[in-house]
Amino acid sequence: MTGAVLFVSVFTVLGWLQPGYSSASMFVSELSLGPFGWVQILNFVLTGTLVLAFGRGLAAHFSTGAASRAGPVLVQILGASLIVSGPFTTDRSAMFEQASISGIVHGVFGALVFTCAPLICFVFYRRFRRDAVWHPMAGWTLAAGVVLILGVVLLKTSQQPDSGLFEWKGLVQRILLVTFMAWIFTVASRLRHQYRDSGENTPPAER
């Protein structure tokens, strides 16, 4: 829950503070290149670490059945990709393609993030639709997966200079990131409430 809120809050505030930065037309990763670049780099690393921990928590909770293996592994791959995306900073999006070694590495792991995100939603949708406890999350998870798939297609299209979306590529990316982070927050919150409720319903002598 903390990681999702942290990531979105930091890149939103930095986008406001960075001189000459446009949240609509520039990628979140480009915040790592400005005067407060170290903040966004740290944001990637801390959020990735928290997502890794979340993946381990999911593996412990969903120990059997659908999504018990692929789901947590995909979440941890995404978390590790965020961590690597921090110190390996991007090239500016105006260059159209990554040219430096750092930019290429960032591009590879950034692609992993946006590949894993919709896959995670669809994998957990298989679990949630069959699980009575998690069934209320099934519709939201499917919707998030569809939005992410459509967003990835739009994001790829928006990177072409002659596309009508080129000046809106930053906004498209933010919709993707906020959608997925909202999904993480919601699942983590529900998981937290389940453990709190189970603890409160356990007799003191058995805790």
Q: Judge whether 201 lies within some domain.
A: no
Mean pLDDT of 52-56: 96
Give CA–CA dist 94/81, Å, rounded: 23
Q: What angle (nearest 5°) sits at the alpha carbon of residue 190, between those of residues 185 and 193?
A: 125
Q: Judge whether 198 lies within some domain.
A: no
| Residue 204 confidence (pLDDT) | 42
More confident residue, 140 or 67: 140
| Closest listed residue to residue 176, CA positions, set 153, 156, 147 | 147
- Summarised one tens digit per residue, pLDDT across range 101-134 is 998 999 999 999 999 999 999 999 999 999 999 9
Handedness of CA 93, 158, 146, 107 (dihedral sign): negative
Residue 168 has pLDDT above 70, yes or no: yes
Q: Judge whether 21 lies within some domain.
A: yes
Q: Judge whether 68 lies within some domain.
A: yes
Number of domains observed in the structure of the chain: 1
N-to-C CA span, the chain: 25
Tell me the residue range of the domain where 183 lies.
Answer: 2-189
Mean pLDDT of 142-155: 95
Q: Judge whether 144 lies within some domain.
A: yes
